[in-house]
Chains A and B, each alone.
Chain A
């Protein structure tokens, strides 16, 4: 029986494995979520952000950026939306929220929990998307009319995401990299 070995020169570190595992979970959540019907384009719960928050909390900002970007590109490939406007909007939102997470994670942890990170990142996600939409997709100030409902849904979704992540992290101790079966 033939054994397929991965390249022995560059073995995957446990950090890589944790990162890949989180990205895979995020991808699964993205795919599940795309099956949920939405009243308006752009309004969805954003469950995959739970994974980004967990990565930020346990592995740091660089890992969160990897997990988030891998998930966005992976979802683009699997949903067939790669390089469509929806993909670019998703990337703009992801970039915005990652930059904000980088800033927000410097807030004093004594007063601000993950919930703050989630809410601020949600707002930055929306800001990134609306800016791209205004600059590229529809260069018309009517885009700002979309802000109130999108901001409301974004705020509610990011609160829910933050609370879910907090309870998840409380119930489950930080995942240690386990050997793959």
Chain B
């Protein structure tokens, strides 16, 4: 393969796209702070906001049946779901702010919400 196939603009575009790709990892995946609440969604609507420090279990209802959400020791997971491929169950325990488990076929989801990383501000 000869390098003469590429042109200057190709390198420019490749660099820009690679930079925005790493940027997307940084801004969408890397979040500081502690997760404090779990948000439960069904049909895209927020149905409950629950503090992670309280252990609990909830059932969300979608077109395929019930999605079971378990909250224990500051973490949350989809314990059971009727979706055929079980991706959201296999994601396991979520503990970082911003992390999400989507059960696409059943139209249910959980997201962890973080505080800003500041326990207190003193002036």
Contacts and interface: CB of A to CB of B under 8 A. Distances in A.
Contacts of A145: 28-29, 98-100
B109 A148 contact: no
A177 B74 CA distance: 66
B17 to A, nearest CB: 6
A116 B10 contact: yes
B13 to A, nearest CB: 5
A144 B2 CA distance: 37
B60 to A, nearest CB: 12
A110 B104 CA distance: 45
Contacts of A139: 43-44
A119 interface: yes
Nearest to A158: B17
Interface in A138-160: 138-140, 142-145, 147-148, 151-152, 155, 159
Contacts, number: 78
A134 B101 CA distance: 15
A138 B104 contact: yes
A2 interface: no
A113 B17 contact: no
A113 B98 CA distance: 39
Given A112-B9, A148-B25, A148-B29, 17 more contacts: A111-B7, A112-B7, A112-B13, A113-B9, A116-B9, A116-B10, A119-B10, A119-B14, A120-B13, A137-B104, A139-B43, A148-B28, A152-B21, A155-B18, A166-B5, A167-B1, A167-B5
